[in-house]
Amino acid sequence: MCLEEMLGVEVPEGAMYYHKIRRRLKVAFDSAVREATADVAERMRLSFMSGITPKARYMKKCEGCSLIDICLPKISKGDNAVEKYMEGIFEK
């Protein structure tokens, strides 16, 4: 959608690449996907403006994501999950 806006071209589909399993999934950019993308972009903008980073929620599909080591969804389960994680590191 950004490329369409910036370059004035039509982009009917894209792809998501899962590095861990070495698979690419084609995604058609239909009206439902475009609407969902616009909704997520607006929620991201509001989150950014609030200055509060939302906690990541771990799901089974996280295991196939190349960003799991950056996102760290397993350590953000509770209110003091980061503190517990850090305590565990220093106790070893």
- Pick the closest to residue 15 from 27, 23, 4, 3 (CA basis): 27
pLDDT in tens, 28-82: 999 999 999 999 999 999 999 999 888 888 999 888 888 888 888 888 666 566 6
On whether the pTM is more than 0.85, the answer is no
- Pick the closest to residue 22 from 52, 88, 57, 66 (CA basis): 66
Whole-number pLDDT of residue 82: 63
Every domain of the chain and the residues it spans: 1-52, 55-92
pLDDT band at 85 (very low <50, low <70, confident <90, very high): low
Q: Name residue, tokens 């609407």.
A: 35
Whether 15 shows a pLDDT value over 90: the answer reads yes
Q: For residues 17 and 33, is the Cβ–Cβ distance under 8 A?
A: no
Q: For residues 27 and 16, is the Cβ–Cβ distance under 8 A?
A: yes
pLDDT band at 14 (very low <50, low <70, confident <90, very high): very high
